[in-house]
A = this chain, B = another copy of it.
Amino acid sequence: MIKPRTPPGIMELLPRDQIAFQRMLDTIRRSFEGFGFLPIETPVFELSEVLLTKSGGETERQVYFAQSTGALEKASDGPPELALRFDLTVPLARYVAEHEHELAFPFRRYQMQRVYRGERAQRGRFREFYQCDIDVIGKDALSPRHDAEIPAVISAVFEALDIGDFTIQFNHRKLLRGYFEGQGIAADAQVPVLREIDKLDKRGEDAVRATLSGEGFGLASGVIDRLMAFSRVRSKGHADALARLDALGDGTPLFEEGREELREVLRRLQALGVPESRYALNLSIARGLDYYTGIVYETTLDAHPGIGSICSGGRYDNLASHYTKSRLPGVGISIGLTRLFWQLREAGLIETADSSVDVLVTLFDDAGLDHALGLSQQLRGAGLNVETQLEPRKLARQFQYADRAGIRFVVVRGEDEAAKGLVAVKDLRRGEQFEVADADLARTLLVEREQWRALGKSAG
């Protein structure tokens, strides 16, 4: 006998949690599709040679390799031929480069698949997790206007997910680097300084200040003051965001370019009708990754800052330089849904989902089975999800089952009801019971379901 268990670092869900998770996936997908993003899926493994174009990156230390039994048996020197994707960005780059001549640009794709990282085993760290990504990829160029649509998508997603107030915070690498330039920090020192600034939240101001004034950086105290003041800028509301941009004073051409792009983003966010409480400038955001070159985004839950960014991304200059000579600038974001779901559940923010089953059709005795089957099919034809009790059990047990499973409607047809051509319906959500003619059952339940959804929506 082998102990049944998953490998460590896996989040596996029981059906009711899986339903809640699936609803989040569906909601995100509907929002992505609402903005005209097109679906793609890529294989779980890529050729190692294709996936691992850079060497020595931290993420690439965590790669899983795959080999078939046959490949294992052949002794071979190099690394295995196949590697599991560790994000959706490298597969996107490969996909766009491979299908470049079959795609229309700007190419707007969404992708919601699992990725794999050999993380250290640790609570809340997953070795398999969903990423839900959108990216817009231009050919040769891509207008900064696309940078403004991205926060509108983020806003639509998290409005629809209904997990509390959130703020999309953004900054701009050109603004940041332009400002550093203006403070006399040389081009090759900017990325290292950015990395230190990026650690402000984690390490605290004193530690970062010590590093920046110490050997290696050697920044003057006044410069550090100004960098710190700059990185403390947060806006509150639309007008304030514009005012704070103005208040930064004149800067280098790079700085002005970044500022102008941020102004454009703010202008278009207003045209898109994104509520001004949903977005803010946060000039401390740098995003650790070197490949961001323009706007960068992070999204936080207002009531749960400890969860950290729940949706991040930004603008990059060239997606697929390893695979094609074409220049493919892009902008995109990623939601790490497995981790988000886990955190929301830990924080008690995810309610147990109602079942995906709307109706349980009960069974008194064997004689009633054919009627129960027919009635179930009739309800299914109307678009309801129905489970039929196929073997007679005590009615109390059938009700108990429906209640535990989160099934809302229980349909009962005893002798009395049968004689009158009726069925009795118990609504376990409202705690009400009513009788209805067979022929009207489907319509009645559909109306109830819609009303309940509308109620949930306005109440939530």
Contacts and interface: CB of A to CB of B under 8 A. Distances in A.
**Copies of this chain:** 2
Which of A13, A65, A149 has the largest count of B CB atoms less than 10 A from its CB? A65
Contacts of A18: 38-41
A116 interface: yes
A322 B38 contact: no
Nearest to A79: B72
Contacts of A68: 62-65, 118
Contacts of A95: 4, 12
A66 interface: yes
Nearest to A385: B33
A88 interface: no
Interface in A121-177: 128, 143, 145-146, 149, 152, 156
A81 B102 CA distance: 40
B99 A14 contact: yes
Interface residues of A, number: 103
B405 A33 contact: no
Interface in A12-70: 12-15, 18-19, 22, 33-36, 38-47, 49-50, 53, 60-70
A373 B41 contact: no
A356 interface: yes
B272 A373 contact: yes
A283 interface: no
In the complex, the 8 A-B pairs of residues with the closest C-beta atoms, listed nearest first? A36-B387, A68-B118, A271-B370, A15-B38, A4-B323, A4-B97, A4-B98, A271-B373
A84 B47 CA distance: 16
Interface stretch (A103-111, A178-186, A435-443): A103-111
B2 A322 contact: yes
Main SS class of interface, A: mixed
A387 B67 CA distance: 41
B388 A4 contact: no
A413 interface: no
A83 B6 CA distance: 11
Contact of A46 (B7, B93, B390): B7
Contacts of A376: 272
Interface string A78-101: 011110100000000111011100
A345 to B, nearest CB: 16
B50 A38 contact: no
Contact of A66 (B61, B64, B99, B149): B64
Interface of A: 1-7, 10, 12-15, 18-19, 22, 33-36, 38-47, 49-50, 53, 60-72, 79-82, 84, 93-95, 97-99, 102-104, 108-109, 114, 116, 118, 128, 143, 145-146, 149, 152, 156, 267-268, 271-273, 320, 322-325, 355-357, 360, 369-371, 373-374, 376-377, 380, 384-388, 390-391, 401, 404-405
A272 to B, nearest CB: 5
A39 B14 contact: no
A193 to B, nearest CB: 31
Contacts of A97: 4
A190 B52 CA distance: 52
Given A7-B43, A128-B43, A369-B145, A38 B357 contact: yes
Contact of A45 (B7, B102, B384): B7
Given A18-B39, A374-B273, A7 B47 contact: yes
A2 B53 contact: yes
Contacts of A2: 49-50, 53, 322-323
A194 to B, nearest CB: 28
Nearest to A274: B377
Nearest to A47: B7
A429 to B, nearest CB: 17
